[in-house]
Chain A
Amino acid sequence: MTDGWNIVVCVKQVPDADDVTIDPDTGTLNRSDAPAVLNSPDRNAVESALELRAAVGGTVTAITMGPPVAKAVLQTAVGAGADGGVLLTDRAFGGSDTWPTSLALARAAAELDADVVICGEESTDSSTGQVPPGIAAHNGWSQLTYVESLEPRPDEGVLVGKRDVEGGYERVAAQLPVVVAMEFGANVPRPAGLHRKIFAETEFEPVEWTASDLGIEEQVGLANSPTKVGGMDTASPVERERVVVDSVDDLYEHIEEVV
């Protein structure tokens, strides 16, 4: 472990929730309006990866799975200070749910000989939080989720994570390799350095791997995803009075009737 750790950080491109607009006539989402951005919890993952590299040495490699335009989130990670990036891109990945997605990321992390894989808490567009433990499970590695802070112990080959649990916290020592999911907001992500940002946007080219490069072309995509969207429904509205009052006194009278 004298050469430091191979740190892999997983990032995802998502629609920008702040720019998603609702059509006032139909109440539906104008999804195409929203530009694609780096999943905001992943910024905490990138920051943790960079802090970990500063503490133990080694390299930070960003990986993402998505269409070719997802290169943009690797550029963001490299701009912040990641050493390199890998883009898992292949039509075969299309329609993957969390099972094949975590398989692809797990194979890529193993290929990169990762000691530590760091992810964000969950993605803002699907909010399952299932991918980090999924990566760990596919590779039989240890896992630390909802992590507030990390304490590396390179001499022992161990990473200690302080985990947020209901009503308090716990500190768990995990053997390497380990998959970490940082709690959203756990740290303050650094801004991109100017020179690094220019490098990321002009010179940086990610390594590209397909499903067959990872040997998993028969295990990914919609056909190999256990979950299927069975139907969409508008959320059933609850009948309410919908009375808008003009004064706080009127509002208070209604409240007084209840309590």
Chain B
Amino acid sequence: MSVDIEAYEDVWVFVEQHDGVVAPVSWELLAKGRELADETGDDLVALVMGDGVSALAEAAVSRGADRALLADDPVFEPYRADPYGEQFRALVEERKPSIVLIGGSHTGRDFAGRVAVPAHAGLTADCTELDVDDEGLLLASRPTFGGDAMATIKCPAHRPQMATVRPGVFDAGNPTEHVSDPAAAVEEVEVVVAEEDTLSTVIERVVGDVVDITDADVVVAGGAGCEGNFAPIEELADALGGEVAATRAAVDEGWVEPARQVGQTGKTVRPQLYVAAGISGAVQHLEGMNDSDVVVAVNTDPNAPIFENADYGIVGDLHEVLPELTALVRAKQEVTA
């Protein structure tokens, strides 16, 4: 069962927002979407859903979208999968986008998994590279299981081609241009969902500050080798004025909060200094820190792949090496202070 793929055009970016605040990953995808649309010759279209969010649609135009589609109604605040999904289904049926990019947040993945089904879309999760081929087909790449290779996923006979991308993979840049009348490029679409038809109700929502490690200049990360003790990581990060990060293994063990996970299924960071302690160096993790300026590795296993991916390494136990390093950093700070 294929579709007439010629009928589908344009690159859409789902602008995820909560209480009028845009998730930064959406602007990162808008910048990437601009590149893809320029290559395919399509329009870049921002999809903004919420209640009283026309300013966000205008912001998307100022950030490079050719147009913004605005679904503005109380039914869209806060986010719920079923009304968002139904509205998206109707829009895809009517407008036929070729490519749709969605942030890999919990909200974005909840949304993407739901809307790919009625659209009969091809959906690739947690892409770390996006490109288009000569025919305008989306090339969505992600590390394979076990982490030895990258797989490129294509969607040759179905539309839209959808992909989710985790925060920090692409650079949002600073693309706000002067657009004299951004509102003119915003189209308010017909809302097809009524509150009485929804299947769920948000009865409580408690959200505080979101930890953001993606802008840090120094990141000290720990993995399975920490064996539950992150104190050496935290102390070195504190001494260097950096952020604590972790591998998926450490997060799954509950040693560190998920917002600090670096890698394909976590955040991508680009610090000046990345210290990887007790981290073996699976591709899933490397994908999240490969763009760091200088990588330092501490590991007990001299054959760990992390040493191949580090500038400076030492074979040793992080529980001994890191406190020594922290002491040296502190001593130097006292001398200069």
Residue positions of A touching B, CB distance < 8 A? 15, 17, 20, 22, 24, 27-29, 31, 97-99, 102, 124-134, 136-138, 141-146, 160, 163-175, 178, 184-185, 219, 224, 226-238, 240-252, 254-256, 258-259
In the A-B complex, the 3 residue pairs with the smallest Cβ-Cβ separation, listed nearest first, are: A133-B113, A226-B122, A137-B117
Which of B107, B287, B291 is in CB contact (< 8 Å) with A235?
Answer: B287
* Residues from chain A with Cβ under 8 Å of B183 in the complex: none
A259 to B106 CA separation, bound complex (whole angstroms):
34
Asked whether any CB of chain A lies closer than 8 Å to the CB of B218, the reply is yes
Q: Are the CB atoms of B117 and A99 closer together than 8 Å?
A: yes
Beyond A174-B199, A256-B332, is A143–B82 a contact (Cβ under 8 Å)? yes
A124 to B264 CA separation, bound complex (whole angstroms):
13
A236 to B270 CA separation, bound complex (whole angstroms):
17
Q: Are the CB atoms of B252 and A185 closer together than 8 Å?
A: yes
Shortest CB-to-CB span from B203 to chain A, Å, is: 5
A43 to B145 CA separation, bound complex (whole angstroms):
20
* Residues from chain B with Cβ under 8 Å of A224 in the complex: 1
Asked whether any CB of chain A lies closer than 8 Å to the CB of B134, the reply is no
Beyond A128-B125, A233-B152, A248-B328, is A254–B114 a contact (Cβ under 8 Å)? no
Q: Are the CB atoms of A165 and B106 closer together than 8 Å?
A: yes
Q: Are the CB atoms of A174 and B200 closer together than 8 Å?
A: yes
Q: Are the CB atoms of B114 and A133 closer together than 8 Å?
A: yes
Q: Are the CB atoms of A27 and B329 closer together than 8 Å?
A: no
Q: Which of A127, A131, A146, A251 is packed against the most chain B CB atoms within 10 Å?
A: A251
A241 to B296 CA separation, bound complex (whole angstroms):
10
Q: Are the CB atoms of A143 and B308 closer together than 8 Å?
A: no
Q: Are the CB atoms of A29 and B148 closer together than 8 Å?
A: yes
Shortest CB-to-CB span from A106 to chain B, Å, is: 9
Closest to B129 in A: A236
Beyond A130-B112, A233-B149, is A248–B314 a contact (Cβ under 8 Å)? yes
Beyond A22-B146, A166-B106, A237-B308, is A249–B328 a contact (Cβ under 8 Å)? yes
Q: Are the CB atoms of B106 and A163 closer together than 8 Å?
A: yes
Beyond A167-B207, A228-B156, is A243–B150 a contact (Cβ under 8 Å)? no
Which of B117, B154, B199, B209 is in CB contact (< 8 Å) with A134?
Answer: B117
* Residues from chain A with Cβ under 8 Å of B53 in the complex: none
Q: Are the CB atoms of B113 and A227 closer together than 8 Å?
A: no
A23 to B315 CA separation, bound complex (whole angstroms):
22
Q: Are the CB atoms of B116 and A229 closer together than 8 Å?
A: no
Q: Are the CB atoms of A242 and B105 closer together than 8 Å?
A: no
Q: Are the CB atoms of B110 and A242 closer together than 8 Å?
A: no
A237 to B306 CA separation, bound complex (whole angstroms):
11
Which of A173, A185, A248, A252 is in CB contact (< 8 Å) with B200?
Answer: A173
Q: Are the CB atoms of A170 and B312 closer together than 8 Å?
A: no
Asked whether any CB of chain A lies closer than 8 Å to the CB of B7, the reply is no
Q: Which of B107, B157, B199, B321 is packed against the most chain A CB atoms within 10 Å?
A: B199
Q: Are the CB atoms of A142 and B286 closer together than 8 Å?
A: no
* Residues from chain A with Cβ under 8 Å of B211 in the complex: 167
Which of B110, B151, B209, B217 is in CB contact (< 8 Å) with A146?
Answer: B110
* Residues from chain B with Cβ under 8 Å of A126 in the complex: 145
A227 to B300 CA separation, bound complex (whole angstroms):
40
Q: Are the CB atoms of B295 and A137 closer together than 8 Å?
A: no
Q: Are the CB atoms of A258 and B123 closer together than 8 Å?
A: no
Shortest CB-to-CB span from B313 to chain A, Å, is: 5
Q: Are the CB atoms of B126 and A127 closer together than 8 Å?
A: yes
* Residues from chain A with Cβ under 8 Å of B82 in the complex: 142-143
Closest to A227 in B: B122
* Residues from chain A with Cβ under 8 Å of B174 in the complex: none
A233 to B112 CA separation, bound complex (whole angstroms):
26
Which of B156, B254, B259, B311 is in CB contact (< 8 Å) with A185?
Answer: B254
* Residues from chain A with Cβ under 8 Å of B180 in the complex: none
Which of A22, A230, A235 is in CB contact (< 8 Å) with B143?
Answer: A235
A228 to B291 CA separation, bound complex (whole angstroms):
28
A98 to B146 CA separation, bound complex (whole angstroms):
19
Please name 15 further chain A to chain B contacts, defined as beta carbons within 8 Å, in addition to the given A29-B145, A99-B117, sorted by A numbering. Answer: A29-B144, A126-B145, A129-B113, A137-B117, A146-B106, A165-B207, A167-B207, A168-B206, A173-B203, A185-B254, A231-B152, A233-B141, A242-B310, A244-B313, A248-B314
